[in-house]
């Protein structure tokens, strides 16, 4: 099936690499136009060039409200916002510093809050879909991911609060979260780089997925297409797991 997002104007944060780039590629393949928002201008511009006229890069650091306001001031209409930008800080309650914890929250939680809040003027007139990239770590805790667990749990619940508000207001805006298991992207490489024993960490990731491998970015992008499309019109406030059976 193609053209499932025909004519939709979409905005993907963290769209320059990993899951965001896979989502941007699929969205364009399904007929959408895509604004790729990221702090990595080189990778974002390169992807926009690869995707041709349907894609444009915008420099955005999701931590900063003034940047969101300036970016959305140039957007008359947005049908789909994917709050995907995120980082992962490895460490337990004993390891992680307050500064690291706050940094994780600034990107993974404050970024989602600001995007969901300030997109509304460009979305409420016609309705739309907000897709928040949480994680399996947002519903199941691990000892060595205190900051990431807390941040992604906040995203999971913020999604439901927004979904209820939008439904009560009759905005026609849906808000859902995606919960990937370990998907092989740059983020996994960055997490392994923080570990004393990266190979053991990787083997541990594989072992927690009954399917017996890590996921692929395209497998998460497929879920994003469903949630962005009108096929999911009766779906809001829900958690969508793409985790190779990890949560069974
Ligand atoms: N890869 C996984 O296994 C996995 C699993 C579950 C959830 N997730 C979530 O999926 C999302 C994407 O992860 P990924 O694996 O593609 O990571 P990635 O590191 O490959 O890509 C993240 C992107 O976000 C951008 N970014 C970082 N900070 C930013 C900021 N302040 N403002 C704007 N952009 C910023 C980066 O430049 C990068 O392009 C994250 O929210 C992550 O927590 C990933």
Q: Is 116 part of a structural domain of the chain? A: yes
Task: Return all residues near 196 (Cβ < 8 A) that are at least 6 apart.
Answer: none
pLDDT value of residue 46: 98
Q: For position 194, which CATH number holds? A: 3.40.50.720
Return the structure tokens found at 225.
Answer: 């297409």
46 lines ligand 1 (CB under 6 A): no
Residue-wise pLDDT for 45-94, tens only, equals 999 999 999 999 999 999 999 999 999 999 999 999 999 999 999 999 99
Residue nearest to atom 8 of ligand 1 (CA): 135
Question: How many domains does the structure of the chain reveal?
Answer: 1
- Integer Cα distance of 145 and 52 in angstroms: 38
Most informative mutation of 14, 15, 84, 183 for ligand 1 (most atoms within 8 A of CB): 14
CA distance readout (Å), 190 to 27, 89, 199: 26, 9, 13
Q: Is 26 inside any structural domain? A: yes
pLDDT for the residue 1: 61
Distance, in Å, from the CA atom of 8 to the CA atom of 130, rounded to the nearest integer, reads 13
| Average pLDDT of the chain, as a whole number | 97
The domain of 196 spans 9-242
Residue 155 within any structural domain of the chain = yes
Tens of pLDDT along 186-226? 888 888 898 899 999 899 989 999 999 999 999 999 999 99
Partners of residue 242 on adjacent β-strands: 180
In a domain, 2, yes or no: no
**227 found inside a domain:** yes
pTM: 0.97
Residue 247 counted as domain residue: no
Domain contains 248: no
């Amino acid at each position: 099936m193609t053209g499932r997002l025909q004519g939709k104007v979409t905005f993907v944060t963290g769209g320059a690499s990993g899951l965001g780039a896979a989502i941007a590629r699929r969205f364009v393949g399904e007929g959408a136009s895509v604004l790729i928002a990221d702090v990595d201008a080189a990778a974002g511009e390169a992807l926009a060039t690869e995707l041709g006229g349907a894609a444009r890069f915008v420099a955005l650091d999701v931590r900063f409200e003034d940047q969101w306001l300036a970016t959305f001031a140039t957007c008359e209409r947005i049908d789909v916002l994917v709050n995907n930008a995120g980082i992962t800080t490895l460490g337990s309650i004993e390891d992680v510093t307050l500064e690291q914890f706050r940094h994780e929250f600034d990107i993974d939680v404050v970024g989602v809050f600001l995007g969901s809040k300030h997109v509304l003027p460009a979305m409420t007139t016609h309705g739309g879909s907000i897709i928040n990239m949480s994680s399996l770590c947002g519903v199941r805790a691990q000892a060595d991911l205190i900051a990431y667990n807390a941040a992604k749990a906040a995203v999971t619940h913020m999604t439901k609060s927004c979904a209820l508000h939008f439904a009560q207001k009759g905005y026609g805006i849906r808000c859902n979260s995606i919960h990937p298991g370990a998907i092989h992207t740059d983020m996994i490489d960055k997490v392994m780089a923080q570990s004393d024993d990266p190979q053991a960490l990787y083997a541990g990731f594989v072992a927690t997925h009954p399917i017996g491998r890590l996921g692929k970015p395209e497998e998460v992008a497929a879920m994003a297409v469903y949630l962005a499309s009108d096929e999911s019109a009766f779906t809001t406030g829900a958690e969508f797991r793409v985790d190779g059976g990890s949560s069974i």
